[in-house]
Structure 1
């Protein structure tokens, strides 16, 4: 595996930072998850659901294949054990707020004294600089609301809505892994590690970068519109005769070629010569009328026929799938899922990291660890004697 021999210490909770550590683990790194006595809050994600639903797929997604230990850093022995772990690590990942890390002597400047090769990754809500750097932040606040993602994805005149679970976190995790890998690459050349920082706010701004670049340059940006008011009426979502939604994305933003091809597919060549729709400018000006015409044409065709015609014409399109559709999609299974051990001799599908390494991918990943499952094992690897480990347990510094 690509990162075999790389040791990662994760002192984090929730999603963004643990997800980044999980990606490194998927690629072969040895990831040690350090939790406080209460455990990562995501362990309780399904605590209130119906009893017949067993397991915690949200936690498992971002923690599969890790080893887990419990240390209480409010006690000197627990804090020292975590520092010893970092002294022997290649990567340290945390999303604890910087002020708390500094108070505990677990900030980058403290840990690099014992391990100058350490790549220290910190994930924050709002970054390390600026007037609000100290504030706590989740993806719904820092990524979704503060960065503008939430406002820019709401059609004009409609109320804002909440983000789906982990949306901004997993985008931030991708950025975090990229930063860590750059730090490891630099270390190979210089012999020195470094601090790398990512934030939910920064990821949100970059995710909407195309629109925000326009805002920064011109002082304004077009708002989202409802489908009946689309600026490009043929780049839109439509429904088949059975009511199945699908999305059409014409090349070149609605070139005449794709417009003519779409009319041919629908058997509506008469629309090509309609003065209201002859040019791109005319189609934009008469968007509601054109969308109404297309709606009527698509409503006469079953979904499978639409799919056949689009594929034969090499159109860029896709069904608008529900989660159940995605779970049953053979293309998703082939490219975007991984099997995870269930701890009972079987395995179940789970989302894979989006980077694939043909010939080096692992078909099945180990399950996520139980709370403190590997505490004794990891402490022994650090050189603690059996007596010292028992003393740490007795003092509440380990569990």
Structure 2
């Protein structure tokens, strides 16, 4: 899909590399610039103080299929190499802090003079303007805590729960990718590259935007609650006879109420004044959830699947990763891919979240979005990439001796 698009990625951790990773899966030529010691995420499992994980699937997910170049960009010579690399690039992605980029001459204005058509994507914690523009920010702080998601998801009287690894990063990475592709279309039409300003905090506010927009309009919003106090009692988690949790969804309004009662064998509740309307069901939520709990405890997950499907109810089992990996529908939907390793072996990993195809008939009709190669080692392609941009052997060796560049 993106064959012929050259991307220079000078970014660490996950959000910005995730954007480059999706573009690499889609066929772009992505050159990853790292410090001589490599991206800190390469040490993700080293900090776990265990030798049980010889591979680093967390880092590989966002960096498979890229070319890795090790450059000490804090030096004038290293920054000059970056400026040389972007001369014919289509996209530049970075998550370095704005002030640092300006000092190095690697900010948008500086690189725009070198390559006016290049799209420049900045991924920060808190945006490019304001007092906190240079503040470091991981997704737990910027995307989850500051945006209001953490507050919204925490029932009153409970301590906030932490966000799982890189959830906000990957959402922000996808937002960044869409911004880059829109900017590429504009550049193709106008010949002028623009700055794509992406931040964890802005993505966070958008992700929780349905609730946030309600609050901004009316000054109040219902936070998450325990299942026994659910805002919509029939959109809830229930435990089956064989001790599997499922989630049942009822659509806004009351179109599913009768169907749910038939599926659960609770038709008599239509005669119960406590549950005669949506407002009354909310008022008597604890009693209603208790009645549904009794019903769901009477049959197995498989039995409930048949009954809920027969009534057209939206539902799903709450699956473990093991169950999800072996789920036939998830496999059919192309959710997983084979992650290649340098030795030629593979292991299963999440695929990028979009498929492209010419028809809707068969899986074989899809354009390949499988990884284009393994995750590279630190500096694995340094010499190859620098040679391609005109730096001769003598200069490359000099840069290596002075520790301006590194190689695997």
**C-alpha deviation, 1:278, in angstroms:** 1.8
CA distance in 2 between counterparts of 1:150 and 1:112 reads: 38
**C-alpha deviation, 1:364, in angstroms:** 4.8
Residue aligning to 2:284? 286
CA distance in 2 between counterparts of 1:116 and 1:131 reads: 29
Structure 1 unaligned segments of length 5 or more: list them. none
> Where does 1:1-399 land on structure 2 (aligned, <5 Å)?
2-47=1-46, 48-253=48-253, 255=254, 257-335=255-333, 336-358=335-357, 359-399=366-406
Which one is further off, 85-94 or 46-55? 46-55
Moved over 6 A (4+): none
Are the aligned partners of 2:97 and 2:133 in contact in 1 as well (CA < 8 Å)? no
**C-alpha deviation, 1:266, in angstroms:** 1.7
Corresponding pairs, count: 396
CA distance in 1 between counterparts of 2:206 and 2:181 reads: 19
Are the aligned partners of 1:117 and 1:187 in contact in 2 as well (CA < 8 Å)? yes
Which one is further off, 343-352 or 280-289? 343-352
Which one is further off, 92-101 or 221-230? 221-230
What do the CA deviations read for 1:230-272 (whole angstroms, capped 9, x no partner)? 121111110100111111111234x1x4211111112222112
Which one is further off, 8-17 or 150-159? 150-159
Are the aligned partners of 1:156 and 1:226 in contact in 2 as well (CA < 8 Å)? no
**C-alpha deviation, 1:339, in angstroms:** 1.4
CA distance in 2 between counterparts of 1:321 and 1:155 reads: 23
**C-alpha deviation, 1:76, in angstroms:** 2.7
Give the TM-score taking structure 2 as reference length.
0.95
Are the aligned partners of 2:240 and 2:296 in contact in 1 as well (CA < 8 Å)? yes
Are the aligned partners of 1:340 and 1:365 in contact in 2 as well (CA < 8 Å)? no
Are the aligned partners of 1:45 and 1:56 in contact in 2 as well (CA < 8 Å)? yes
CA distance in 1 between counterparts of 2:348 and 2:77 reads: 39
CA distance in 2 between counterparts of 1:228 and 1:40 reads: 45
**C-alpha deviation, 1:134, in angstroms:** 2.1
Are the aligned partners of 1:338 and 1:365 in contact in 2 as well (CA < 8 Å)? no
Which one is further off, 12-21 or 244-253? 244-253
**C-alpha deviation, 1:108, in angstroms:** 0.8
Give the TM-score taking structure 1 as reference length.
0.97
Structure 1 residues 98 and 363: alpha-carbon distance in aligned structure 2, compared to 1, 3 A threshold: closer
SS of the aligned residue for 1:252 comes to coil
CA distance in 1 between counterparts of 2:243 and 2:106 reads: 56
CA distance in 2 between counterparts of 1:177 and 1:293 reads: 46
Are the aligned partners of 2:27 and 2:372 in contact in 1 as well (CA < 8 Å)? no
**C-alpha deviation, 1:346, in angstroms:** 2.1
SS of the aligned residue for 2:197 comes to strand
CA distance in 2 between counterparts of 1:86 and 1:185 reads: 19
CA distance in 2 between counterparts of 1:164 and 1:362 reads: 26
Are the aligned partners of 1:126 and 1:201 in contact in 2 as well (CA < 8 Å)? yes
CA distance in 2 between counterparts of 1:87 and 1:392 reads: 20
Are the aligned partners of 2:339 and 2:347 in contact in 1 as well (CA < 8 Å)? yes
CA distance in 2 between counterparts of 1:315 and 1:308 reads: 10
